[in-house]
Amino acid sequence: MSKVKIFSGESSLYLAEKIAKAYGKPLGESTLQRFSDGEISPYFGESVRGADVFLIQSTFPPTDNLLELLLMIDAAKRASAKYVTAVVPYFGYARQDRKDKPRVSIAAKLMANLLSAAGADRIMTCDLHADQIQGFFDIPLDHLDGTSIFIPYLKSIQLPDLIFASPDVGGVKRTRAFAKFFNAELVVCDKHRQRANEVASMRLIGDVEGKDVVMVDDLIDTGGTMCKAAALLKEKGANSVRAVVTHPVLSGNAYENIENSVLEELVVTDTIPLNRESSKIKVLTVADLFAGAIRAIHEHGSISALFIQS
């Protein structure tokens, strides 16, 4: 069997080190050269000929992170790697997955095309913004599920009157998986937007009187929707409100929104590093999840054992 070699892009080094440690193998040697005009050039400091290469890089801003990943894929293929897997814990541009108005790009499909064109043989990611994005790829894609990170934590805190809430209609399927596992009820916060990142109105579908509510979402950006939904849930009689969100994008005034909200806590993963600490934000690692998936892929095994079944 070919050797496994794990490399990291510059922005995901903090997570790649944990994944490599969980896998039981040191990170491969790589460097990123920068020209004076900002042009980047990644370089592998060791041979990858005939190896199964795993390149870890989330594609959060700036866009250099995406370009670095594409260049690393190209470099690995040109260095005769046997098989190249792009490990993208957070897959950026996934919110642009359809034409919701005239004359716009379907950026998620373009990102999929770029990764394939660069030479990736396989993609591994976690909690895409929409499941159907998997169909944008013409190469195998392993879509890992954040429930295996959050469910053990929620079990450990033993909330007495647990109920799950989706902050919007689009997240009902994701939220239902949690509700089904805990045999709990589900409510929905139906929102109406006038423009991106701005909620015009919101109403609650369901009853949360005296309940401990857990909201579920794939990402949190400015936090406007989540904080407004939390306030609505408390207004409707919820005993406590917390949220579990896979990708902490947290842009703009997100940290202030969260600190000033009625949320008990916001539980996120380390697919994206936090810009600063917050007393309300708890971070869980996805390192063991991705290390297990890398091992399963290399050994031609199934990754279904990594999922928590409802």
Binding-site positions for D-ribose 5-phosphate read 193, 217, 221-225
Q: Which residue has the tokens 């390149």?
A: 55
Cα distances (angstroms) measured from residue 90 to each of 43, 87, 118, 120, 149: 23, 9, 18, 17, 15
* Residues in the annotated binding site for Mg(2+): 129, 168
Question: What would the two tokens of residue 81 be?
Answer: 């790697």
Paired sense of beta strands 40-44 and 30-34, if any: antiparallel
Q: Is 300 left (phi over 0), alpha (psi -120 to 50) or beta?
A: left
Cα distances (angstroms) measured from residue 125 to each of 258, 261, 282: 26, 30, 21
Other Cβ atoms closer than 10 A to 168: 19
* Residues in the annotated binding site for ATP: 37-39, 95-96
What is the rounded distance in angstroms from the CA atom of residue 185 to the CA atom of residue 258? 25
Q: Is 182 exposed, middle or buried (0-12, 13-18, 19+ CB in 10 A)?
A: middle
**Given 77, 109, 155, 191, which residue is catalytic?**
191
* Residues in the annotated binding site: 37-39, 95-96, 129, 168, 193, 217, 221-225
Q: Are the C-beta atoms of residues 58 and 88 closer than 8 Å to each other?
A: yes
**191 belongs to the catalytic site:** yes
Catalytic residue set: 191
